[in-house]
Structure 1
Amino acid sequence: MRFHRLFLGSVVAAATLFSGAFPLTTQAAPPAHGTSVAQRRAQVPGVYRYRVGDFEVTALSDGTVPQDLHALLRGTSPAEVDQLLHHAFLSNPVETSITAFLIDTGSRLILVDTGAGGLFGPGYGGKLLSSLKLAGYAPEQIDDILLTHIHTDHSGGLVSEGNRVFPHATVHVGKPDLDFFLNPANQGGVNGYDKKYFEEAVKTVGPYMKAGKVHAFTRETWLFPGIKAIPTPGHTPGHGFYRVESRGESITFIGDIVHVAAVQFPKTAITIVYDVSPRDAAAQRETQFATAASHRSLVAAPHLPYPGIGHIREEERGYTFVPVNYRDRDER
């Protein structure tokens, strides 16, 4: 998903809205115990651990960004969007999570997506490395990276100032995405799909390509014991799920099959401007939601409210997302 011009427009709009709603004041209470106001208001980096059989899955927050859904969503109207948001106790613009997931198999450390890095600018994403550090890991320890697709908020964290952030990692991604986004003939944009998508794909995935650290897949493939890549084209040509199985338990990382839970679960036909093929993206969403709901499968998605792990339930009309029950205690 690329938050380029429309994203920046929504950020400016949100900033204007919020600055009007919360004016600065000179009467703020003094900082407590030597901490600054900024420190007291800052969120703690997001780390949430979840067991799947013998594997440990850790949701790592890369931060959140505001999105103007009136400008971004397709196949709907502002009035319908506002109605769906109101039902979910939300209003436009909506703050959207960017989450990566770390899989510790016991023998490998595998990262699913890498967040936006610094490509959205200060204050919008870019928190993955601090979350990774808080979880007790360093970028040098990552063995593999599973990209659900090549969009900036999933591949932006691969690089910093043109250098590979994860020097020992091999990047796994659907071949159709490589063929589409890194094709020199497409660098000016394709059929109205902005050239920024392609330029930033070269910036983020390109250094790993040059280092021989990219592995592409074209069909359902067991990448490692217990971890399968599953092509799910639509949002992008090479969009893919990753299914993790261990001791009879499983979780499927579903990437950008959904961007706005409050809107796209009840109305699967509503698409977003980031979709390369809106029709295919909507059809894929309906198919995958129905499958996950019927199998009661555990799923994880980067743009669902952090930590983005839960189940999909079929309703009389559409679907709802049911987050996992929160757990915070030592394992016995």
Structure 2
Amino acid sequence: MKMRTSPWRAAVAALLTAASGAALVPATAQAAAPLVKTQAPGYYRVMLGDFEVTALSDGTVELPVDKLLTNIKPAALEKALTRAYLKAPVETSVNAFLINTGSKLVLVDTGAGTLYGPTLGKLVSNLKEAGYQPEQVDAVLITHMHPDHIGGLMAGDQRTFPNATVHVDKADVDYWLSADNMTKAPAEMQGMFQGATAMLTPYVKADKLKPFTGDTELVPGIKAMGAHGHTPGHSTYAVESKGQKLVLWGDLLHVASVQFADPSVTIQFDSDSKAAAAQRKKAFADAAKQGYWVGAAHVSFPGIGHVTPEGKGYEYFPANYSTKQ
């Protein structure tokens, strides 16, 4: 009896025949592609009501967290880092945030500029990649006057944002621009005072520095809120539009894998570690309760997400990547 060949069997036979024939053809040699070793431009946009928020990367810096974090035992620190597949030093993001309200272009923090070497100082290039020019920025809001937040204010001897008014809590201005405080500071700290003076003085001379005191609406929809502790005038900024809210935290935390789970962990950069820890706990609790967006300077780029309670601490959920606007 003659057996019929099924269409499926015939198709497989044809593929095998083609494959065996192809094996006899010499493969064309391909040159190895060189490693690119660069990332995409560091910006990421989200809509907040009618506002467009663009997270801007200034780059990353290796942070020796095992030497800097305080109020935590070495074994507990190592366990927390290992759980997050990290080890010291931790490559740490430096983020800033650009808010387009429709009538104003507002930048929160400016990155480190040229103060910390080649892995930082990328904010302006990323701002341009995001479709803006420094001249378009109307206001610069500074969370605090540490170098990695104000270093981008100047480009050489020129103001990076020539048309912008700089807003900083008066307590930080009074502290960091004080010659008397600088002379009283330890030698290793005096450079921070000198840097603050160099970055802010050109804006003072141009009448472009406007200190504020207390909780203040600086731009319609953007309000400064005192969160003193990390520095004498450390501030956070609440951004609200159409019932949606984002709070930009500045340096309320530095190591997400450690401090979300245990907000009592502090860092040597704090001018008042007890007050800084209290502000962190307050901010975490409020964000978890109300469910609004948060943005942080040193959480992995783009540094935007939500916070929920987890055990005795909290858990951070980064924003889901989206191509939508």
In the aligned structure 2, how far is the partner of 1:193 from the partner of 1:185?
16
Q: Give the C-alpha shift of residue 133 in structure 1.
A: 0.8
2:126 maps to what in 1? 131
2:110 maps to what in 1? 114
Moved over 2 A (4+): 29-32, 188-193
How do 1:201-280 and structure 2 match up within 5 A? 201-280=196-275
In the aligned structure 2, how far is the partner of 1:203 from the partner of 1:82?
38
2:5 maps to what in 1? none
Structure 1 residue corresponding to 2:85, chosen from 85, 89, 94: 89
**Deviation string for 1:221-258 (max 9, x for gaps)?**
11121111111100011111111111111111110001
2:19 maps to what in 1? none
- TM-score (normalizing by structure 2): 0.88
Q: Give the C-alpha shift of residue 192 in structure 1.
A: 7.9
Q: Give the C-alpha shift of residue 163 in structure 1.
A: 1.9
How do 1:285-324 and structure 2 match up within 5 A? 285-324=280-319
* 1:189–1:196 contact (8 Å) kept in structure 2: no
* 2:166–2:208 contact (8 Å) kept in structure 1: yes
Match of 1:92, SS? Answer: coil
Q: Give the C-alpha shift of residue 31 in structure 1.
A: 6.9
Q: Give the C-alpha shift of residue 124 in structure 1.
A: 2.4
Match of 1:283, SS? Answer: helix
Q: Which amino acid aligns with 1:77?
A: K
Q: Give the C-alpha shift of residue 162 in structure 1.
A: 2.8
Q: Give the C-alpha shift of residue 188 in structure 1.
A: 2.7
* 1:150–1:201 contact (8 Å) kept in structure 2: yes
Q: How many residues align?
A: 296
Structure 2: gaps (5+ residues): 1-29
In the aligned structure 1, how far is the partner of 2:111 from the partner of 2:184?
23
In the aligned structure 2, how far is the partner of 1:30 from the partner of 1:153?
42
C-alpha RMSD over aligned residues: 1.6
1:15 maps to what in 2? none
Structure 1 residue corresponding to 2:37, chosen from 27, 33, 41: 41
Deviates more, 1:72-81 or 1:109-118: 72-81
Match of 1:95, SS? Answer: strand
1:326 maps to what in 2? 321
1:62 maps to what in 2? 58
In the aligned structure 1, how far is the partner of 2:219 from the partner of 2:84?
39
Q: Give the C-alpha shift of residue 82 in structure 1.
A: 0.8
Q: Which amino acid aligns with 2:139?
A: D
Q: Which amino acid aligns with 1:45?
A: P
In the aligned structure 1, how far is the partner of 2:31 from the partner of 2:51?
45
Match of 1:41, SS? Answer: coil
In the aligned structure 2, how far is the partner of 1:50 from the partner of 1:295?
19
How do 1:188-207 and structure 2 match up within 5 A? 188-190=183-185, 194-207=189-202
- TM-score (normalizing by structure 1): 0.86
Structure with greater Cα Rg:
2
2:171 maps to what in 1? 176
2:9 maps to what in 1? none
In the aligned structure 1, how far is the partner of 2:180 from the partner of 2:100?
38
* 2:244–2:292 contact (8 Å) kept in structure 1: no
1:161 maps to what in 2? 156
